[in-house]
Structures are given as C-alpha cells and as structure tokens.
Structure 1
Amino acid sequence: MADLSALKSHAARLENVSLSELVAQGGSRDAALQFEAAGVSLDARKQRLDEAALGAFHALLEAADFEAKREALYKGAIVNTTEKRPAIHAAIRNPDLLTDQEFGEEVRMARISTRAFAATMKQMPILDGHPVKRVVNIGIGGSDLGPRFLYDALHKFGRKDVELKFVSNLDPADLEDAIEGADPLTTLFCVISKSFTTQETLMNARAAHAWLTSHLGKAGADARFAAATAAPQKAIAFGLDPSKVFAFAEGVGGRYSVWSAAGLCLDLVLGPDIMDRLLDGARAMDEHFASAPLAQNMPVAKAIIDVWNRALLGQNSRCVGAYASRLQMLPNYLQQLEMESLGKSVTHAGQPLGEHQGGQIVWGGRGSDVQHSFFQWLHQSTDRVPVDFIGLRSMTFSDDERAKALIANMVAQSAALMQGREGDDEQGQHRHMPGGRASSIVMLDELSPETVGALVALHEHKVFTEAVLYDLNPFDQWGVELGKELANSILSGDQSRFDPVTQDLLRQFNF
C-alpha cells in the first residue's frame, strides 16, 4: 500500500505558499507540469504542486509496484479482487495484450459481429423490409452514460438518416419521450444490460415491446429488438432473437463497457468506422500510459493531482467545466466513472482508508453557461475546489468571434481563480476574491473520434492509478446493490426489513 502520509511534509510546505508565486517560478516546474499524448494536452501549472512533491508521488508508485499492476490490468489478470475478475476495457481496444489469446480471439470476434450488424443495417433494410430510422438505447448506468456522452460528442460524424434516443429512467415519461413521433415500423430498440437482470432496463424493455406489439404484433415487435449483455442466454430467454444478441465478457465493468458490444447503439448510429476511430484514439492513450515514464505520463499526472488535492489538501470535490458544447455530458460521465470506481472506504485488504482518501465528488457543467451559475461559489465561497477546464485547441484558430470568446472566458476563469482580487473599493470585502484556487486545463487538438476516445481512456487510466495510490479496488460497486435489493422487497410486499418511518411512508405511498 502506498503510504500517503509520506506526502504530508510536502503538503505542509506548499499549502500556504502563494499559488501565484509557484506559477511565477517557470522553468523546470513548467516542464514538469505539462503533458501531451494522443491529441490531448494537460497543463497543470496552476496546481499547488512542485517537482519535489511530484517526485515523492513517483517514488510511492514505484514502491506500490505500479508497473506490475498496470501490466496485470493490460494482460487480463485478476485485478478485480472482490469479484475475482479481470478488467478488460483496455484489452477490448487491443486484444493482443491479453495473455489468454483464445480469449483475445473471442474479443476480436465480438467486435467483428457488432461491426457486421451495423454494416448490414446501413446497407439494407433489416426490419421486415423497413429501414431503421430511429434507434432507442435502453440501459442505465454505464449502459447509458457512456453511449449518451459519446453520441452527444460525436453525433455530427454519424449517419444523417438515423436518430438515437436514450431510455434509462423508470419514470414512464422517459420512454414516452424517446418514442414520441417514432414510426414503430422503423424503430429498433437496443437493450443493454450486463447481467440482463437490471430492473430499470428490463421494465423499460417490456414497456417498449408492448408499445411495438400494440402496433405490429408480437412478431413485428420481436424483429425490432437487439441486445448486448454478458448473459446472452438470459436475453434469449427474455424473448430476443439470438442473432441479434451480442455478448461481452464478465470482465467488462458497466462504466468501462462502451468499448464493447455495450456500445452497440453507437455502432448503429455513428457507424462502425467512427467507432473504430474512437477505439484508435483510446488505444493511443493506452500505449502512452503503458510506455511513458512516470514523469511524462499524463494519466499518472492527472491521478497525482487529484489524489494530492483530495488526500493531502482535503479538497473533497472537483469541478469539471466543459468549454465545448458537444462535451457537455462529460461531467456526468466522469461522475459515474470516478465516484463508482473510487467511492470506497476500505483497502484491498478491507482496512479503513485514511481521512480524505478515496475519490472526489465530481460535478460540473458546460462553459460558459456555468460562469453564470455556480462559478460565484467557486470564486468567493469559503470552500476551495479545484477545477478542470476542458477545451478544444481548434477553437483558438477559429474566425468565429464566439469560439475565440469561449476560449478567452475559459482562460480568464482559470486566471481569476488563481489571482483573485482585493476588495479595495466602496464595496469592500463584498468584492474581494481570495484567489489561490487551483485549476488544470485539458485541451483536445480538435473534436474528433480519436481525441474523444483518448480523453475517456485518460480518465480510465487516471482512476486506475488513483486506486493504486489508495490501494482500493476500482472495479467493484457493492454500494449499488443494497438499495436495489430493498426496492425489490417493497415491490414483492415484504416490509419486514424496514424501520417504522419507512413502513409509514410505504403506507402513505399505497404499498
């Protein structure tokens, strides 16, 4: 286990140093806090870090056997220790990494099958002679947030003759909105569930099937369903056509699953070539993470920054400001990736984590909209919250005044957080901004499938690196289960497990 207490002396040394003074050092510190790989750059010069603290983190990673653990991840070894599974999201992007080459061939064939299905849909009508005009993805958690974020980011690269809608919530309005204006004859539903037991997904799938059946009969409804799951026999037992059921491995965690058949709707609507480019970009970041020295490794640096702010400086949340409209879902996506992976309180061995250890609260929104909402709190509240600004370098070369103004606002907000302002006029301290607030700037060269893929892989790998530093398992999510179990008890009529207040609420709510 990495002993983060070894960093306390560095935190004490730097905590009260003026951030502006640190930034003014320039020189080798600048070089140590700037990174570039796979069309993505990270500028962390406005973080309260220096070379000595970075070096101490690198020594901790070496002592924690980081390189061997990273190699185990890539090769498909058991890294999810509580569930005794590998975590193969990187291997999906490059099956050659896997030690078990027979399994690697299964991964390749899974990609070939979804790619072929998508190509067939584009070339010829597949729904009883009718073309697909609308795809509706039914899933929740990683089966929704990953595809939703990537579609929002990359829809301009996709097919113009097919639209994609998403259903995740049990509120009947969610499905109603997704099928509003849809022609049942030209609508295809993709049901995405690793276990094929997820309550929300199966209930919505049954409701969607009932809607189709009311218009087209059972046979017509059956023809308009496809699925991706790690439990294909359950999907077939549910009534789905085996030829439209696409399997992925148990080692694919939900929040890491968009690279697998769980990204089926993206293959169908963006097209398999765009998905291949997305995989290429992620693979480029994989290669950087695997080969770059610790001091030049971008995911390692991002992990160090977030652990430093959380565990050593006690800053328990992080704001993500996406200064590109098509990346507006990124904070939501990262919220699940990080908080489900790192929202733990014990180590691999079941021992309590130290104070402020485990992942940060992740939240945010779209710039520059967020400047007119919660940025007031970032600048003047008593809390100090680091900010990740995410932007597009291509906007800096735009002739459109709006693009230039957007990037100017992003840079200005970063400067304002650090510099602050003295309250020296008639309003006094009401206009005072303390400054000294850290931020990083992550830039994509342009918005493309490759850079978006690299951006996601960057955060996947930084989560893994944080988990090594905290010595926790980032691949299980037992905290998701209890509430689901209790909901099933309520629906089955068993109220014996509940406290008096909950039982009273159930009576009020007609259970």
Structure 2
Amino acid sequence: MTDAKKRQWDELLTHGATASKQHLADLFAEDPDRFTKMHRQFGPLMFDFSKQRVTEETLNHLFELARTHELNEWIARLFAGEKVNDTEGRAAMHWALRLPQDAICEVDGENVTAQVHEQLARMERIVEKIQAGQWRGATGEVITDVINIGVGGSDLGPLMVTEALADFSTRTRHRLNIHFASTIDGSQLSQLLRDKKPQTTLFIVSSKSFTTIDTLTNASTALQWLQRSFGRRASSSILHCHFVGVSASPDKMTEWGIAEENQIGFWGWVGGRYSMWSAIGLPIALKIGVQGFRDFLAGAYDMDEHFKNARWEDNLPVLMAMLGVWNTNVLGINGLAILPYDGRLKQLPLYLEQLEMESNGKSVTREGEPVERATCPIIWGDVGPNAQHAFYQLLHQGTEAVTCDFIVPARRYHESLHHDAADELIAQHQLALANCLAQSRLLALGDAALKDAENEPLYKRYRGNQPSSTLLLDELDPYSLGALIALYEHKVFVQSVIWGINPFDQWGVEMGKKIAMTTLGKIRGEDNELDDTDVSTAGLLRRIRAEWK
C-alpha cells in the first residue's frame, strides 16, 4: 500500500472514531435538510442515503480515499476493455452487451458492438419464432414449455428477472411457460418433467464453458427423458427440435449434439454472474419480448453512462460503494440485508449474494498479498414483509449490527392486467410502502421514532442507529430493473478498487469442484481407497456406501 493510501485510510479511521459515536436520531434533529442533502435521483431511481451514519465531512473523506486508489483511472480501464481480470488475463466487458447498435467499441482491432448485435439478432429470431408458435417439437406440435438448464450466473439472473418482470409478459398466440432447473441433484428437473409433454417442451442449455457438470448432467437427463418418449432412433430430430444452446464454446455445443442453427454465442470476457445481458438472457426475452429485453438493456446502458460521467458526489454506484466501505471498514458492520418490498423481487437477494460475494469475497490483493482490511460483507435478505416475520427481531434488538438496502417501487398495479382488482391491490401495495418506510425509520431513529418510549421496559426499547439506504423506483419495469442491476454491478467494481482485489475471478470455488469429482468415484465404488481422505469424510462415505448396497 502506498503512503498516500495509508495516510488517507488513517484520516478516515480517525474521523470515524468520532463520527461513529453520533446517533442517527441526533443527525436528523440537527439538520432538517438532511434528506435534501443526502438523496440523489437517476432517471426512475431515487437513492436515499440520509439514514446512513455519515455526514458531508464523511463523504469528503470517502471521496479522497477513492482518489488515492485511482478510482477514475480504474473506471477508464474497465470501459476501455483493458484486462482488469488480471488472474485470467481477460477484460470484463459485460457493459459492452448493453451498447446501442450505433455505439463504437473496438477492442484489439475487433468491432465488439457488431459482434454483440449479431448474437442479439440471432437470439431475437429464436424468440420471435418460439413466441409465434413456429418452433415445433419432433412430432410437429407447438412448443408450450421452455426449461432453462443452467447454474450460477446462467440461472440466478434470468430466473430473478423473469419473475420480477412477470407483469410485462409478452402476449403470444399460445401460452408459453418458462421454467428453470439448476440443482445438481436433479430435484428441480424431475419435478418439472412430471407434468410436461415431451412433444411440446424445449430445453435451453446455458453454460459459458459448456463443461459445467451440474448443467450437463441435467441436460443429459432431459435428453434421456425425450428419448424414452420418442425412441433413441429419433435422437437427431430430438436434438434439433428440443434443444437450444447458449455458450462461449461453440465447439463444445456441437460436440454435445446441439445443431449449429440452435446455438447462440457470447464471449470469454463475459463473466458468468454478469452474463444475463447476453444470450444467457434468452429466457428473459422469451418472457418479456424482444422490445422488453431491449428496454432492459437500455436501463443498464444509461446507468453505465451515469457511472462513467457523473461526478462522484452525484454518482449512485460510487456513493453506494463508498458508503459500503464506510460501514464495513470503519463501523465494522459485516452484514448487508437486501430487503425488497415487492414480491416480484423475491429472487433479488439471492442474485445479489452471488454478484457481491463471488466477486468481492476475496482475501488476496491484486499484488498477491493478504488483504489488510475486511472486504465483502455477508449479503442476505428476503422480501421485506416476509422478513419482518422472520429476522427483523435481530435487526431491531439483536447484538449484531446490520446495514440494509430497502428497495421498493412507488407505483404499482396500474397495468391493464390488474384492472379488475386494481383498488384492492393498490391498497395492498400502499401497505407494503408504509411498512418499508416505517421499518427503515425505526431502524434509524430507534426510540426517537416512538412516543413515550423511555417509559417502556428495556425489552420493548429500540436502540436504533442501524444504517440503511432506500432505493425508491418510480415503478418496476424492464428499464428500471436494468438500471438497478447495473447500479449494483458498478458498486461491486468500485469497492473492489478500494479493497485492491480482482472482482472478476472466482478461484475459491474451483478446488471444491475438483475434490468432488474424486469423491464421486469413491461414492460409486470406482475408488475404494479411503485412507487418502480425512477421517470425517471417510466415515461419511462408509455410511453412504452402506445405504447404496
């Protein structure tokens, strides 16, 4: 660490020693304009950070920390297509997947924009064919069910977005159902196949490398299910009519048996957890249509431009990231709860768990040295109204400090599909909004938010001073969701710069996969040697083997 970086960290920590003693209730009481000073607007997103335990002086210290860590230079490197993923020698160009067709982007002499839009057009042709009822199964029947087989980034993002944007489903000539299967144990797939017709089911096999054992095992099970119905002699027509592949490895797709015209590609510079903007987002496009998917990309692109160009004082990803650094490294808060007050965003906490913890869950710097400070906090959460009945007790009166992101749309149930029950549903959404605002207020102010709290017994008191941010969307639609997700992506990158780590690799998950394959041989009896493992694993293997006899 350079002397300048060390000096700035020391100054921040010195400031924090005093600032951390201030209670949010006092900060609000002292400054009636606190909300005005501490909220920002980007298009359909309002970011309110007035309930974070910071002052304007704190923000100045955080921006100085970012300057000493050359944040502007790192942002420029990211968007220039430099190999910011240094351990794998790759660029991280997920942002290029959102570029409009007339944008100029050349990297290493290649027209990246043209490549992206070529594959986007390929995906759109497949979407339109399926939605129009022109994609037929091996017996000539119209496809009615599409099952996406993938894991990690090939599952979490598309699953989250298709559920979040269910209200924006494209009307098709026939009912089209989108499903997801990811678990390696086959439980999801087996449940799906129980009531599906092989003649009308299409599988999307999504894998960047097309070697992921979880995905290929599920895909093989799906193929065998079809073969049992149609007979093995029909394998070529089954593969042609019932499988689409999405991968950065076309040769592997061909080797597996997917027809070339059913293949959609993307590139090595697209990280798995950033890949739903590519053809990995095929299920999203099938759900919300081609135009809906383009609106989704447009929201993310506009957030990219905001991140590149807005001054830090108004820059939502920079503000969100630096507040996270403050909470983690100065206040010592090691948990972040994602709390959407909209049931459509139920999968968002799980999606952000991967985005943040797989990216910044690192303990080694880019220079190969152990980190000197805490990096990514534990990300968790649930839909807010459900979470209130599950773990809010800990948030309000537990011994662990947790910071929260409240996410809620201001407007809902105005779409035509809700007209019959609009009044009742709007009343329910207002109830969700009231709970969202009430919970963040109580977390921040504690007893100061209540009347006569000082007369209550201790077990009814609320300490407050729990920091939170609120992201208020005008409404949840493809554009605003695209912007929201890109906001979190860029937040992760900013924090990686401050912590000096590479957010684009995930070496921590690789060794476990390798050990799993050797362990599989022991479970199946292909390797009976147990002395080369630990006594705990050996004991468990003996018990498992006994069950399989």
Q: Cα distance 1:395–1:268, how it changes in 2: closer, same or farther (>3 A)?
A: closer
Aligned to 1:6: 11
What does residue range 43-442 of structure 1 map to in structure 2 within 5 Å? Answer: 43-94=48-99, 96=103, 98-100=105-107, 101-127=110-136, 128=138, 129-160=140-171, 161-217=175-231, 218-222=235-239, 223-355=241-373, 357-395=374-412, 400-421=426-447, 424-425=454-455, 428-442=457-471
Q: Report the Cα distance in structure 2 between the residues aligned to 1:32 and 1:471, rounded to whole angstroms.
A: 30
**Deviation of 1:28 (Å):** 6.6
**Deviation of 1:261 (Å):** 1.2
Q: Report the Cα distance in structure 2 between the residues aligned to 1:62 and 1:296, rounded to whole angstroms.
A: 15
Count of residues in correspondence between the two structures: 509
Moved over 4 A (4+): 395-399, 422-425, 494-497
**Deviation of 1:31 (Å):** 4.1
Confirm whether residue 451 of structure 1 aligns to residue 480 of structure 2: yes
**Conservation of the 8 A alpha-carbon contact between 1:75 and 1:91:** no
Q: Cα distance 1:247–1:396, how it changes in 2: closer, same or farther (>3 A)?
A: closer
Q: Report the Cα distance in structure 1 between the residues aligned to 2:286 and 2:348, rounded to whole angstroms.
A: 22
**Conservation of the 8 A alpha-carbon contact between 2:96 and 2:112:** no
Confirm whether residue 15 of structure 1 aligns to residue 41 of structure 2: no
**Deviation of 1:387 (Å):** 1.0
Report the 3-state secondary structure (helix = DSSP H, G, I; strand = E; otherwise coil) of the residue aligned with 1:226. Answer: strand
Report the 3-state secondary structure (helix = DSSP H, G, I; strand = E; otherwise coil) of the residue aligned with 2:264. Answer: strand
Q: Report the Cα distance in structure 1 between the residues aligned to 2:339 and 2:157, rounded to whole angstroms.
A: 18
Q: Report the Cα distance in structure 2 between the residues aligned to 1:133 and 1:25, rounded to whole angstroms.
A: 60
Out of 498-507 and 309-318, give the one that drifted further: 498-507
What does residue range 32-47 of structure 1 map to in structure 2 within 5 Å? Answer: 32-47=37-52
**Conservation of the 8 A alpha-carbon contact between 1:74 and 1:97:** no
**Conservation of the 8 A alpha-carbon contact between 1:328 and 1:366:** yes
Q: Report the Cα distance in structure 1 between the residues aligned to 2:483 and 2:521, rounded to whole angstroms.
A: 45
**Deviation of 1:497 (Å):** 4.7
Report the 3-state secondary structure (helix = DSSP H, G, I; strand = E; otherwise coil) of the residue aligned with 1:353. Answer: coil
**Deviation of 1:361 (Å):** 0.5
Q: TM-score, normalised by structure 2?
A: 0.89
**Deviation of 1:362 (Å):** 0.6
Q: Cα distance 1:286–1:25, how it changes in 2: closer, same or farther (>3 A)?
A: farther
Q: Cα distance 1:503–1:263, how it changes in 2: closer, same or farther (>3 A)?
A: same
**Deviation of 1:492 (Å):** 2.9
Q: Report the Cα distance in structure 1 between the residues aligned to 2:542 and 2:482, rounded to whole angstroms.
A: 48
Q: Report the Cα distance in structure 1 between the residues aligned to 2:229 and 2:70, rounded to whole angstroms.
A: 59
Q: Cα distance 1:170–1:7, how it changes in 2: closer, same or farther (>3 A)?
A: same
Report the 3-state secondary structure (helix = DSSP H, G, I; strand = E; otherwise coil) of the residue aligned with 2:165. Answer: helix
**Conservation of the 8 A alpha-carbon contact between 1:110 and 1:246:** yes
**Conservation of the 8 A alpha-carbon contact between 2:271 and 2:504:** yes
Confirm whether residue 463 of structure 1 aligns to residue 492 of structure 2: yes
Out of 171-180 and 415-424, give the one that drifted further: 415-424
Q: Report the Cα distance in structure 1 between the residues aligned to 2:23 and 2:225, rounded to whole angstroms.
A: 62
**Deviation of 1:25 (Å):** 3.7
Q: Report the Cα distance in structure 2 between the residues aligned to 1:25 and 1:46, rounded to whole angstroms.
A: 14
**Deviation of 1:181 (Å):** 1.8
Matched letter for residue 376 of structure 1: Q
Q: Report the Cα distance in structure 1 between the residues aligned to 2:265 and 2:318, rounded to whole angstroms.
A: 32
Deviations 1:457-497 (A, max 9, x none): 00000001111111110000001111111110112345565
Deviations 1:331-366 (A, max 9, x none): 1110000000010001110111123x2111011101
Report the 3-state secondary structure (helix = DSSP H, G, I; strand = E; otherwise coil) of the residue aligned with 1:498. Answer: coil
Report the 3-state secondary structure (helix = DSSP H, G, I; strand = E; otherwise coil) of the residue aligned with 2:90. Answer: coil
Matched letter for residue 291 of structure 1: N
Q: Report the Cα distance in structure 2 between the residues aligned to 1:243 and 1:498, rounded to whole angstroms.
A: 46
**Deviation of 1:450 (Å):** 0.3
**Deviation of 1:133 (Å):** 0.6
Q: Report the Cα distance in structure 2 between the residues aligned to 1:353 and 1:220, rounded to whole angstroms.
A: 54
**Deviation of 1:33 (Å):** 2.1
Q: TM-score, normalised by structure 1?
A: 0.95
Report the 3-state secondary structure (helix = DSSP H, G, I; strand = E; otherwise coil) of the residue aligned with 1:194. Answer: coil
Q: Cα distance 1:32–1:475, how it changes in 2: closer, same or farther (>3 A)?
A: farther
**Deviation of 1:428 (Å):** 1.8
**Deviation of 1:381 (Å):** 0.6
Aligned to 2:417: none
**Conservation of the 8 A alpha-carbon contact between 1:144 and 1:168:** yes
Q: Report the Cα distance in structure 2 between the residues aligned to 1:396 and 1:144, rounded to whole angstroms.
A: 28
Deviations 1:210-262 (A, max 9, x none): 11111123234212001111111111101111111111100111110000111
Q: Radius of gyration: which is bigger? A: 2
Confirm whether residue 481 of structure 1 aligns to residue 481 of structure 2: no
Matched letter for residue 413 of structure 1: Q
Q: Cα distance 1:5–1:498, how it changes in 2: closer, same or farther (>3 A)?
A: farther
